[in-house]
Structure 1
Amino acid sequence: MKKITLLIVLFITISSCKSHLNHPKTAIQPTLETPKLEVSQSAKTGLDSLVAKVAMTNGCRMTATIKGPNTTAYYSGFDGRTNEKITDFNDLYEIGSCTKMFTAASIFQLIEKKKLKLDDHLTSLLPNKTLYKDLLIVDGKNYIDSVKVINLLNHTSGFPEYFLEDEEKVVELHSDPSELFTAEKLINMAKANPDKNMFIPGSKFSYCNVNYILLGLIIEKFSKQTYQEYVQEHIIMPLALKNTYLGSVFPNARRPKGHYKGKTILMPLTMAGSAGEILSNLDDMQTFISAWNKGELFNNPNTLNGIKNDHFNTMVPNAITYGAGVINLMNLSLGHAGQTFGYQAYVGTMISNHYTFVFSIDDATVSAWYPAIETSRLLKHIK
């Protein structure tokens, strides 16, 4: 949800831990696997140590799960506020920008149906002069007609962000969870953002939630469904994700409560939209990333191959690159980080052995990068 780039400064210190619906009629059938084995004891011990370290160092609650292609899932959790192990792993949490993997998958599904192409221009797909007015002016020139679908997917559009750099100011202004945001309102906020830093499309990378808000509008136009309806019908239901919800239609009274700087907080999920509004739990996210990695969300094997290998740009030099809705973390794993104003999250799949991992941290100020990197390093050595 929030700008992942705000957290990248923490990457330098990665060596230490920073201070539903009914089943569908045609559900995706799981791939047949050999009898399940257990995750190795060394991996279990390593994960337990990492989770406890993050939770105790930061006084937060962290839960995680890892799973191999032919193993049962292993869960670990620790509450740094009470210094107790966690044994219940069914709680919902805000997955934040991990939602972008759902949005990107939806776009590629529509591409497979020949509804659009990566090289299509935004203004040809969504002509709206009023919406785009003054959105992308660089050195006095309007570059809106140069933005393509791929620029939205891999954050090379040049658009400004709608979140202010001052996080505390954002929390102060938008602490009412019932506040409603539309895509148009968010884009207008980006136009008025005093922190905006625009550039010529395709000239560089800059993580920006506006890109995925616009992708949500594209999904709505070419699917003739709302974004929420499309994701529900084409991802959540086929994968039988029984504990995954679109936040904009989820009751505030049932929302899990995350933390920001020690305070319990609920921000409006409509402020995230197709850039980060989903709530889920560990099991469902494990199911999602496994299905994504196997190509079960797509009809053409070349689609996933392209997602995994093409259109990457540098996010952190020699460490992190960002592609079409997916992060390559040190050439160890593919996945995505997620931050809301109450949670940190990560979902990943190993490149070397297809182990998958998911974690949730109930404090927005605790970096997701350290545990994501350490988990990837831990699982790298498993054969």
Structure 2
Amino acid sequence: MRNITLLIVVIFTLLSCKNQENTQSIDKHIDKTPTVEIPQFAKSGLDSIVAKVATTNGCRMTASIKGPNTKAYYSGFDGRTNETISTFNELYEIGSCTKMFTATSIFQLIENKKLKLDDYLTSFLPNQSLYKDLLTIDGKTYIDSVKIINLLNHTSGLPEYFLEDEEKVVELYSDPSEVFTPERLINMAKSNPDQNVFIPGTKFTYCNTNYTLLGMIIEKLSKQSYQEYIQNNILNPLELKDTYFGSQYPLAKRPQGHYKDKVTLTPFTLAGSAGEILSTLDDMRTFITAWNKGKLFEDPNTLNTIKNDYFNSMVLNVIYYGAGVTNIMEQSLGHGGQTFGYGSYVGTIISNDYTFSFSIDDATVSSWYPAIETTALLNKIK
């Protein structure tokens, strides 16, 4: 969810210094009956990655890996208490991993002939007052040039609504009951002093405003709320019974994440369709497995497009971003999440269909380092 303008610096600093309306259920048991063991080197390697992240950063990290024909393996360590974790069904904020749910929904609507990738944003949300001054460069407005694909792969040129100063964001939005509508978030983007706008299609810049607008499009075309659409077309079919919308989850039961070792509870509506979902390690692996096998789409060409087209470089030769999915080193597909309390990642290995998910309970700890390391580790399994 958070702005990742400094992604390159974060990744290489870490690498160097801290060496489920569809009422029919899709079969949740997508993988075959376990017949083989996860190699010991992969288990040990995951343990090492988890322990390193947790102890180096004084945080709590849990992770899970699974092959197509294996049982799941779990690893966890609490760097605050120096204790091994043995419980792995806890909820965590998945942050921008929510974007995979949002992008999946858009592609489902494309399959249902509701829209196309080359359609323009303003064709579906023709709100001149909403867009006034949102994307103006040298006195010329470019909002009419923004296409659906530009929103999906962050090439729209739209401004971010989050300030780059994360500590300021945590300070400003510390009331978890505060409500942010999509319109309010877009107005925040208009007034953001840290704007980095550009002509649509000419650059890549990760921007949560894109997915706020995609959420609005989902509501407009499906005639359901964003949450209802995701529930009916993804959560229910996949039987993701431990996945929730933060804006609808009881505040008293909310998991506690941290920012610089302090508990933070920013409003989930500050993220919405860009990052409001809560889930568990198992549910996230179930989601990415179903996604990877095309269980959420009717046409095989849909998934082929998502997996292979519309990618732009985030970090040269390391990370690429496509239509709601990241590609790490041409070895894994998935998405990372960063709220103001958690870091997370969910991925699937291209060569062998192994899946992984993890949660880190401190927002200042980058999820990219363990995602890269876990990708490299699981890619060694033949």
TM-score by length of 2: 0.97
Aligned to 1:86: 85
How far is the alpha carbon of 1:6 from its aligned partner? 3.5
How far is the alpha carbon of 1:15 from its aligned partner? 3.0
Aligned to 2:11: 11
How far is the alpha carbon of 1:35 from its aligned partner? 3.8
In structure 2, what is the Cα distance between the partners aligned to 1:299 and 1:262? 44
Unpaired runs of 5+ residues, structure 1, are none
Q: Any conservation in 1 of the 2:5–2:206 contact (CA below 8 Å)?
A: yes
Give deviations 1:214-241, integer Å, cap 9, x for gaps.
0000000000000000000100010000
Aligned to 1:38: 37
How far is the alpha carbon of 1:32 from its aligned partner? 6.1
State the AA in 2 paired with 1:10: V
Aligned to 2:287: 288
Aligned to 1:154: 153
Give deviations 1:108-150, integer Å, cap 9, x for gaps.
0000000000000000111000100000001111001000000
11, 24, 27: which one aligns with 1:26: 24
The total of aligned residue pairs comes to 380
Give deviations 1:153-178, integer Å, cap 9, x for gaps.
00000000000011111111000100
State the AA in 1 paired with 2:336: A
Aligned to 1:273: 272
How far is the alpha carbon of 1:251 from its aligned partner? 1.2
Specify the SS of the correspondent of 2:240.
coil
Aligned to 1:252: 251
Unpaired runs of 5+ residues, structure 2, are none
Specify the SS of the correspondent of 1:115.
coil
Give deviations 1:10-63, integer Å, cap 9, x for gaps.
1223534659x9xx8510024462543221111101101110111001000000
In structure 2, what is the Cα distance between the partners aligned to 1:122 and 1:211? 10
Aligned to 1:114: 113
Q: Any conservation in 2 of the 1:257–1:342 contact (CA below 8 Å)?
A: yes
Aligned to 1:142: 141
Specify the SS of the correspondent of 2:158.
coil
TM-score by length of 1: 0.97
Alignment of 1:138-287 (within 5 A): 138-287=137-286
In structure 2, what is the Cα distance between the partners aligned to 1:113 and 1:285? 25
Specify the SS of the correspondent of 2:61.
strand
Give deviations 1:236-269, integer Å, cap 9, x for gaps.
0100001000111111111100000110111100
State the AA in 2 paired with 1:11: I
Aligned to 1:356: 355
- Report the CA distance shift for 1:32/1:262 in structure 2 as closer, same or farther (over 3 A): closer
State the AA in 2 paired with 1:2: R
How far is the alpha carbon of 1:7 from its aligned partner? 3.5
Q: Any conservation in 2 of the 1:261–1:363 contact (CA below 8 Å)?
A: yes
Task: Say whether residues 1:58 and 2:57 are aligned partners.
Answer: yes
Cα root mean square deviation, aligned: 1.4
In structure 1, what is the Cα distance between the partners aligned to 2:96 and 2:281? 15
Percent identity (aligned): 73
- Report the CA distance shift for 1:202/1:220 in structure 2 as closer, same or farther (over 3 A): same
State the AA in 2 paired with 1:28: I
